[in-house]
């Protein structure tokens, strides 16, 4: 039994709750191909309609998880993709292969986005190979389990905020000179950035900072015609989960939500398509929650 309700386009009664994920753990940053079960990033029921035809999108963390699902959805809508990843080569190649199968170009860049010069180099090479940047999706992240404020070392805090916040700013600074009117910046925040999380306090704080950064940048860039928005997912089955939490926590991941399960990445991706496309041309400075929780 797979832990997803078969609810698409019809109503079904489920007598039993979905089974938990098998206990498992990985070293950071985590690899999607090693997860049991693999996350679902591609949904056959999603058919593109050319909403992003001719666009070029940079997606950080696009090798796996939400980033992979966004890359696939964008490709279905006609966009060429630039995937930036840390060292997850096999996952990145799997995503590239799927984007290419959909008829779109896909460039892979390995980079440590905690370093501003690597952000600048990635953008420079994107312009060299693609010639334009229309969409920037800041999506990569790191998390640590923190059950007490005493767990948060200086090294951990610096890693969390450099990865989850500073690098977003570095990327926006690097891309800004090439973003024309009508471009879109989409930041991945989290529901825990809105409501907090006692088990990952520095992660939650960094995601809250992303929300404020999004709103502030939206006000700053409105006269440039650049829209800035964020997506705040609830729990999603991605490599971040198995590389952050112990096996017993992983096995119960998402069970405390009203749907009694975590989301699959493909269920999050349509929010990014909306924010990247002209459908959201009047929308900036907003945070779209993708969850079944009441906020």
Mapping DSSP to helix (H, G, I), strand (E, B) and coil, where does residue 155 land? helix
Quote the pLDDT of residue 145: 96
Predicted confidence at residue 11, as pLDDT, reads 44
pLDDT of residue 7: 44
CA distance 209 to 156: 17
The set of residues, in sequence order, having a beta carbon less than 8 Å from that of 216 and lying 6+ positions away, is: none
The predicted model gives 95-108 an average pLDDT of: 99
- Does the pLDDT at position 9 exceed 90? no
**Is the pLDDT assigned to residue 202 strictly greater than 80?**
yes
Q: How many CB atoms lie within 10 A of CB 146?
A: 21
- Range in 8-22, 44-58, 89-103, 127-141 with the lowest mean pLDDT: 8-22
Predicted confidence at residue 6, as pLDDT, reads 47
- Cα radius of gyration (the chain): 18
pLDDT of residue 15 exceeding 70, the answer is: no
DSSP at 58: E
Mean pLDDT of the chain: 94
Q: Token pair for residue 288?
A: 């779209």
Residue range 225-249, pLDDT digits in tens:
999 999 999 999 999 999 999 999 9
Q: How would residue 8 be classed by pLDDT, with cut points 50, 70 and 90?
A: very low
pTM more than 0.85: yes
Angle, CA 237 vertex, CA 105 and CA 276 arms, to 5°:
40
State both tokens at 4: 């997803």
Which pLDDT value is given to residue 295? 80
Cβ 192 vs Cβ 204: under 8 Å: yes
Give yes or no for residue 74 having a pLDDT over 50.
Answer: yes
Whether 5 has a pLDDT exceeding 90, the answer reads no
pLDDT at position 16 = 52
pLDDT band, very low/low/confident/very high, at 294 (cuts 50, 70, 90): confident
State in Å, rounded, how far the first CA of the chain is from the last one: 30
Structure letter (DSSP) for residue 211:
H
Q: How big, in percent rounded to 5, are the helix, strand and coil portions of the chain?
A: 40, 15, 45
pLDDT of residue 10: 43
Q: How far is CA 182 from CA 78, 248, 268, 286, in A?
A: 17, 45, 23, 16
Q: What band does 19 get if pLDDT is binned at 50, 70 and 90?
A: low
Quickly list H helices, 5-115: 65-76, 89-101
**Residue reference for tokens 């696939």:** 72
* CB-based contact 216:229 (threshold 8 Å): no
Rounded to whole angstroms, how far apart are CA atoms 212 and 10?
38
pLDDT per position as a tens digit, 259-281: 999 999 999 999 999 999 999 99
> How far apart (Å, rounded) are the C-alpha atoms in residues 203 and 183?
28
Phi/psi at 293 (nearest 5 deg)?
-85, 150
Q: Catalytic residue numbers?
A: 203
What domains lie within the chain, and their CATH numbers? 50-290 (3.40.50.720)
The count of other CB atoms within 10 Å of the CB of residue 113 is 23
With contact defined as beta carbons under 8 Å apart, do 37 and 2 qualify? yes
Query: Cα–Cα distance between 21 and 237 in angstroms, integer?
Result: 9
Q: pLDDT exceeding 70 applies to what percent of the chain? A: 93
């Amino acid at each position: 039994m797979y832990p997803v309700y078969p609810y698409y386009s019809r109503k079904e009664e489920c007598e039993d709750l979905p089974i938990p994920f098998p206990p498992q753990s990985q070293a950071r940053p985590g690899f999607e191909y090693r997860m049991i079960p693999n996350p679902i990033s591609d949904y056959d029921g999603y058919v593109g309609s050319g909403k992003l035809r001719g666009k070029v999108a940079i997606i950080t963390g696009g090798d796996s998880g939400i980033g992979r699902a966004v890359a696939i959805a964008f490709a279905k809508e006609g966009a060429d993709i630039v995937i930036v990843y840390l060292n997850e080569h096999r996952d990145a190649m799997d995503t590239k292969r799927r984007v290419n199968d959909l008829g779109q170009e896909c460039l892979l860049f390995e980079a440590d986005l905690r370093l501003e010069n690597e952000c600048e180099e990635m953008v420079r090479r994107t312009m060299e190979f693609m010639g334009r940047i229309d969409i920037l999706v800041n999506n990569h992240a790191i998390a640590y389990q923190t059950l007490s404020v005493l767990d948060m070392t200086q090294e951990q805090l610096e890693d969390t905020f450099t990865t989850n916040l500073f690098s977003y700013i570095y990327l926006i600074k690097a891309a800004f000179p090439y973003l024309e009117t009508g471009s879109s910046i989409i930041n991945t925040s989290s529901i825990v950035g809105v409501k907090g999380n006692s088990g990952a306090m520095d992660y939650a704080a960094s995601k809250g900072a992303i929300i404020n950064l999004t709103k502030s940048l939206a006000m700053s860039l409105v006269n440039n015609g650049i829209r800035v928005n964020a997506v705040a997912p609830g729990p999603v089955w991605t490599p971040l989960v198995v590389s952050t939490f112990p096996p017993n926590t992983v096995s119960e991941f998402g069970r405390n939500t009203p749907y009694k399960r975590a989301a699959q990445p493909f269920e999050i991706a349509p929010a990014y398509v909306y924010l990247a496309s002209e459908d959201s041309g009047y929308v900036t400075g907003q945070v779209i929650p993708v969850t079944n929780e009441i906020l």
